[in-house]
Structure 1
Amino acid sequence: MTRSNATPSATLSAPPAGRFVRRLGPHHFAHLRACAEGLGLVDSARRYLGVAHGHEAITAHRQAVDAVSAVARRRGESAWRLVGLRIQSPAGEPRPALADFIEAQGLDGFSQSEALALYEEAHPADRKTARGQRLRERQLALLRRLEGLAAEIPMASDLVAGWFDDALAAKLTAAGMTTLGELNARISAGGVWYRSLPAVGIAKARRIERHLATLLRREAAPLKPLFALSQAPALFRAPSPLGSPSNRASGDIILDGVSAPDASFARTRPSLLGASSDLEAVQRWIQARAGSLATVRVYQREAHRLLLWMQYECGGASLAQMGVADCGAFMAFLQNIPPRWISRERAAPGQSGWAPFRGHLSHASCRQAIVIIASLFAWLQAAQYLNANPWLLVNQATGDDPGQKMLDTKALSEAAMAEVLRFIDAQAPSASRARIRFIVRFVEAVGLRSAELLSATLGDLRMEPEGWVMQVRGKGAKNRIAAVPGQALHALQDYLLARGLGSIQAAPPAAPLLAATQNPVAPVGYQALYEHVKGWLARAVRASSLPAHERERLAGATTHWLRHTFGTRAISRQVPLDVIQAQMGHASIQTTTAIYGRAPIRRRMDELGKAFR
């Protein structure tokens, strides 16, 4: 543990004189907290203090430490020496809380004992680490306490000399930008606003803009409302299993956990639902139409967004009051989400900074939302809860995604698959390696969805006169029979041996097809599967000798890419489209053709090539 106001490296020259800190603001405390939590001094100074060069970062950091230490001493804080203290554990990082580790690593589907074992392996505890963590917690608590006492909120009327370093403040003042407000107005006007500033190019101008935005964020940024339905403040409670008593009770709404009357609508005929509010009506729709928990979550999310939009953008209108113009406005809203509706990263529902959207919707997500909401209104009208359905009068077509490249596919080429398997086989034997090798080889040969893989048990496989098959519980709660070819059987047999379960015939039928790494008969959840596959594929792609453009394309590969790999591989090996459709569980062969349409295109090229040589 060292004081950070000592020179970080002996090779660095002494920083030049100059004032970087005249008035303490929230950004100075954010910088010190970031350093305390492990962010590099230069990176933190670039992010929070608006300086880029190493010597400037050192100077600005020293001055921030001195200024905050002085405040602590004046306030009689006996722990003032903790300000700026560099606390390093043997591993170089603080030991995170177990809950934070589980969330960061996507281990929600793992058992508690498995998650704890992974945690201890990643962050072994020792007395020095524990002491350093306690000291860091005291340091962060001190900084938060001092920020509440001493941090000034930058205002547009403040002089730039109070918030920028001496040299830059002199340039800004000479150019007529004496206050933060005047600087903000000049930047907002656009163009080359920095033309009159000597030795300031576009790179430094962008740093000035970012630093000003940091300073004025609390004043200039639009405030997000505390998004909550007026009838029920607690949003997005995790849904209970379908059909459970909590879902059947008329007063327990899966959307928010609290029921409330909504008398803002009027009906001329009795409803078949017995619902007294829009919330209850939507819940009845979810109970009746959602066939799985995954569908429940999607329906719940889209219905919440609509109800919140009507509350905050339409003056609290009810579903019955939604007209044709409102439908068009909501579609336009989905295609261009306002900033105040986009959540701050990691903000939890009900907390300040949380909003219903994580970012702008993709073309496909926007289209899905419109389809779901239109189906909600059609169902509510059929249930006589609504007298009319305005969505029937609206052109709901969103067209095709203009950014989609129709022949592109989210699949691994044969070369990429070979590189992935080479990387996996080169790693030390482990339960994790055995599991990822099984997933890659099995899904490539069978084409299962993630949910189908997770729900399958060994009892679903059986030997028939035609060969090995498995019964799959597919999309829409539909059963189908999938063929299990030789590659998949070999991969499964190797995986069962690694799990200590023996052969396929000898393994317990109730055991999951895919198991936790430390318990061969414990299932895993979707998030754990997603993070497991994505992490392995990303490492394999980075270590591969594939061309740069292909590595870039595969950087975000997930479990679903393996299903697409099955489809594209089957097409390239001339498997008939109807066979692929049946194996993948597509509702129609048009779906298969639309996704894996190279076979018809090849025939078209051949036929036209004959005619126009």
Structure 2
Amino acid sequence: MAERRASSEKATASGQASTGVADVAFPRGFRTKDFTALRAYVQRIAPAIIARTYYDPDEDPHAATPGTMERYLNTMLDTLVQLALAHGSTALAEHLRASIKQHGQPKLTAVTFRMVTEAAQLAAAAPHPDHAIGAWLRPRIARRLKGEGLTTLGELVAFCNRRGPSRWRSIPRIGRGRARAIVSWLRKQQAALQLTVDIDIDSVEKAGVPLVADELVEVVPNFASELGEGSRPGRLTLAPLERLAVPHALSGANAENRSTAFCYIQANHDLDAVRAYLNRFRDQPKTLRAYTKELERFLLWAVVLRGKALSDLRVDDCEAYKDFLKCPDPRFVGERFARHSPRWRPFASSSSATANGKASLSADSQRYAVRALRTAFAWWVDVRYLAGNPWKAVNDPVVVNRANAMKIERALPAELWRKLRDELDARSAEECAMQWRAVRAAILLLGDSGLRREEAAIARCENLRPSSYGTVERPVWELTVVGKGQRGRAVPVSAATLVGLRAHWADRRQVFDAIRREQAPLGPLLAPLIIPWTDASRQRHRRGEGDGALPLAEAGYTADGLNRLIGRMLTKLVETCDSLDLDDRMRIGQANAHAFRHTFATHSVADEVPVDVVQKVLGHASLQTTSIYVQAEKQRVLEEVADYYARLSSR
């Protein structure tokens, strides 16, 4: 697919082109005199004169008669035009097609003949980084790549190396198969391009992980002082905790801060101690992920940039790391990549603020990192792995206390919330609207029950049941969820949400009301109807054992997946809904899954639902947190009345 078409294969030729360019490769074995003869033919010189002027009938059989000469020139012209259509510019291709449509064959001028010749010669040349991708890839593929701002082969190779194995996901209608074919062709042309496609791109995978990620990566110190004057620092060798290996001298096996007393954990070096500490949070995935990030950042900084073992660090080292967090080394910062990718970096540029061209963490993130490290070191002291905790003498970074930490301004106003629900109902009633029905069920579950996105993603059908406090006239359903801090609670579920869930379950070919008869299969309330064709997705949604197991949507959404679904469908709604004004479009465009939790809280407080009731539904540990919504409603009332006063005075 990605390779050049057979008609543009390189053929050996000798001589010099009529354009004066030496060593030009001509397609299909055409020679310099062939191009000169064809130019004369385009200028309406008779075939008999061309045969007499440029050819020897004994050496060139096609010049024996005017008829054979004309057929030869027409064949050559057709070949060059086809190559120009495939490899030339869009303007040239459109001109040639229009000429063929009008005259039955292309009518060329001296200028268009030169353009056709150059395009054909490019088709026979070796690929070069500056060549347009349209000269080497099929037009349909080239158009999609150009839509991402990729115009040359050099830019395409750089894009692959920068984005890694998942690069194709951002390009519409470029799937894994086409991406692999493109990379395969680029690998074959590496010598001609003098560019290298990184080894992990489309490498062989096992259980969703490239085999190039199987081996441990040993990191070594890299001091800026060792660089020569005027030299630029090179790319560091870094790896996440699970693939990390440290030289023995920096492993902490014989470090100064190691405790001499009996150690409560089996840890021979710092990596063992880090893993023992993280093992405490194996049942808390979000906490485990956050602490892993902070500890591996600190460990990599200590070994690579500080040149010390973790258990050799003192207070001045900890102060230096606190300064490092304000502006991390650019070599520690990069785009988000899978942890098994060689492009992975400890700090993600997408989550870092940018000031003066340098990435930096927010003050809150810096304080969180210091406190997480202080807690980890305190535990190592408690289990007698370390003799002391140097972080005890380090102050937290200064943070400005915000009056309102939660972005409750994203809550939708009551009128817009009603418009959104009506629009979702209308779109869900259309044919082939399974995704709309899925997003309606998700948004109603969030907006009518005040769930966090993580809670909605893990909500199970076996935990949803009619409440004993309901009546025939006013039935009440309740859903039991486990929320933040592993605290369980029961939240009410509205009748509108039940309607949305029934429709979503019908799309999944399951009977929602079987729950009441205790006949429903165990499973998530919300589950994807379309599973991405990736190894990770297929492995996550696979049910059963063995290679013949079918991928079924029984695993439910992840919290991030649910957020992406809502964001994608809301964007589509903003682009296609005519009943929304500009302000409504901006509000819906800025909304995410968590905005609907704020919407529930704000509207329930405004409708005089007791604050302690709202607190229990939301799962807030403190009533003070819930009271923020009371203040927000008061502010909204005052702002609306102030606007009314302004309009009244202007009349």
Q: TM-score range by the shorter chain?
A: 0.5 to 0.7
- Secondary structure of 1:9 counterpart: helix
1:436 shift after superposition: 0.6
Structure 1 residues 364 and 603, CA, compared in 2 at 3 Å: closer, same or farther? same
* 1:34-183 mapped onto 2 (5 Å cutoff): 70=125, 84-89=135-140, 93=144, 104=169, 136=182, 139-148=185-194
Residue identity in the other structure for 1:299: Y
CA distance in 1, matches of 2:399, 2:432: 49
Does the 8 Å contact 2:605/2:629 carry over to 1?
Answer: no
Alignment counterpart, residue 479 of structure 1, candidates 485, 488, 503: 488
Please name the residue that 1:387 is paired with.
Answer: 387
Please name the residue that 2:561 is paired with.
Answer: 528
| CA offset digits 1:142-178 (Å, max 9, x no partner) | 543312289xxxxxxxxxxxxxxxxxxxxxxxxxxxx
| CA offset digits 1:208-227 (Å, max 9, x no partner) | xxxxxxxxxxx986422011
Residue identity in the other structure for 1:501: V
1:470 shift after superposition: 1.9
CA distance in 2, matches of 1:416, 1:304: 45
Please name the residue that 2:369 is paired with.
Answer: 369
Residue identity in the other structure for 1:441: L
- Secondary structure of 2:396 counterpart: coil
Please name the residue that 2:32 is paired with.
Answer: none
Alignment counterpart, residue 469 of structure 1, candidates 472, 478, 486: 478
Report which stretch shifted further, 587-596 or 462-471. Answer: 587-596
Please name the residue that 1:562 is paired with.
Answer: 596
1:444 shift after superposition: 0.3
Which segments of 5 or more consecutive residues in structure 2 lack a partner in the other structure? Answer: 6-82, 96-113, 146-159, 197-229, 353-360, 471-476, 531-551, 641-651
CA distance in 2, matches of 1:81, 1:104: 22
1:455 shift after superposition: 2.1
1:334 shift after superposition: 1.9
Does the 8 Å contact 2:410/2:598 carry over to 1?
Answer: yes
Identity over aligned residues, as a percent?
Answer: 25
1:291 shift after superposition: 3.6
Alignment counterpart, residue 445 of structure 1, candidates 443, 448, 459: 448
1:594 shift after superposition: 4.8
Q: Is residue 7 of structure 1 aligned with residue 89 of structure 2?
A: yes
- Secondary structure of 2:347 counterpart: coil
Q: TM-score, structure 1 length as denominator?
A: 0.60
Q: Is residue 286 of structure 1 aligned with residue 278 of structure 2?
A: yes
Which segments of 5 or more consecutive residues in structure 1 lack a partner in the other structure? Answer: 14-58, 74-79, 107-118, 151-218, 229-234, 238-254, 607-613
1:308 shift after superposition: 0.6
Please name the residue that 1:193 is paired with.
Answer: none
CA distance in 2, matches of 1:270, 1:7: 76
Report which stretch shifted further, 298-307 or 425-434. Answer: 425-434
1:535 shift after superposition: 1.0
1:342 shift after superposition: 0.8
What CA RMSD, in Å, does the superposition of the two structures yield over aligned residues? 4.7
CA distance in 2, matches of 1:12, 1:517: 42
Does the 8 Å contact 1:423/1:543 carry over to 2?
Answer: no
1:280 shift after superposition: 1.4
CA distance in 1, matches of 2:329, 2:132: 44
CA distance in 1, matches of 2:468, 2:622: 27
CA distance in 2, matches of 1:521, 1:347: 24
1:417 shift after superposition: 3.4
CA distance in 2, matches of 1:272, 1:393: 25
Does the 8 Å contact 1:410/1:557 carry over to 2?
Answer: yes
Structure 1 residues 348 and 298, CA, compared in 2 at 3 Å: closer, same or farther? closer
| CA offset digits 1:160-199 (Å, max 9, x no partner) | xxxxxxxxxxxxxxxxxxxxxxxxxxxxxxxxxxxxxxxx
| CA offset digits 1:368-410 (Å, max 9, x no partner) | 3333222212222222222222333322153237898977533
Residue identity in the other structure for 1:534: G
Residue identity in the other structure for 2:516: Q
- Secondary structure of 2:288 counterpart: helix
* 1:83-482 mapped onto 2 (5 Å cutoff): 84-89=135-140, 93=144, 104=169, 136=182, 139-148=185-194, 222-228=233-239, 235-237=240-242, 256=244, 262-263=252-253, 264-265=255-256, 266-318=258-310, 320-344=311-335, 346=337, 349=340, 351=342, 353-359=343-349, 360=352, 361-400=361-400, 409-424=409-424, 425-426=426-427, 428-467=431-470, 468-482=477-491
1:585 shift after superposition: 1.5
1:101 shift after superposition: 7.6
Residue identity in the other structure for 1:358: A
CA distance in 2, matches of 1:530, 1:419: 21
Does the 8 Å contact 1:538/1:557 carry over to 2?
Answer: no
1:303 shift after superposition: 0.9
- Secondary structure of 1:471 counterpart: strand
CA distance in 1, matches of 2:594, 2:127: 54
CA distance in 1, matches of 2:326, 2:262: 36
- Secondary structure of 1:333 counterpart: helix
1:140 shift after superposition: 2.7
* 1:479-558 mapped onto 2 (5 Å cutoff): 479-499=488-508, 500-503=510-513, 504-506=515-517, 508=520, 510-517=522-529, 521-544=554-577, 546=580, 548=582, 551-552=585-586, 554-555=588-589, 557-558=591-592
Does the 8 Å contact 1:65/1:83 carry over to 2?
Answer: no
CA distance in 2, matches of 1:605, 1:512: 42
Structure 1 residues 549 and 509, CA, compared in 2 at 3 Å: closer, same or farther? same
CA distance in 2, matches of 1:310, 1:583: 45
| CA offset digits 1:85-114 (Å, max 9, x no partner) | 3413499659xx9x97898389xxxxxxxx
Q: How many residues align?
A: 441
Residue identity in the other structure for 1:104: R
Please name the residue that 1:30 is paired with.
Answer: none
Does the 8 Å contact 1:328/1:394 carry over to 2?
Answer: yes
Larger radius of gyration: 2
CA distance in 1, matches of 2:400, 2:294: 21
Residue identity in the other structure for 2:88: A
1:328 shift after superposition: 2.8
Structure 1 residues 537 and 134, CA, compared in 2 at 3 Å: closer, same or farther? closer
- Secondary structure of 1:302 counterpart: helix
1:307 shift after superposition: 0.5
Structure 1 residues 11 and 142, CA, compared in 2 at 3 Å: closer, same or farther? closer
CA distance in 2, matches of 1:65, 1:412: 59
Please name the residue that 1:109 is paired with.
Answer: none
| CA offset digits 1:318-350 (Å, max 9, x no partner) | 2x3333333333222222223221125647656
- Secondary structure of 2:259 counterpart: coil
Residue identity in the other structure for 1:87: R
CA distance in 1, matches of 2:302, 2:246: 19
CA distance in 2, matches of 1:288, 1:565: 36
| CA offset digits 1:460-509 (Å, max 9, x no partner) | 12233324222211222222222224443343344334444142414616
1:451 shift after superposition: 2.3
| CA offset digits 1:501-528 (Å, max 9, x no partner) | 1424146162321123165755233343
Please name the residue that 1:215 is paired with.
Answer: none
CA distance in 1, matches of 2:181, 2:279: 50
CA distance in 1, matches of 2:553, 2:195: 55
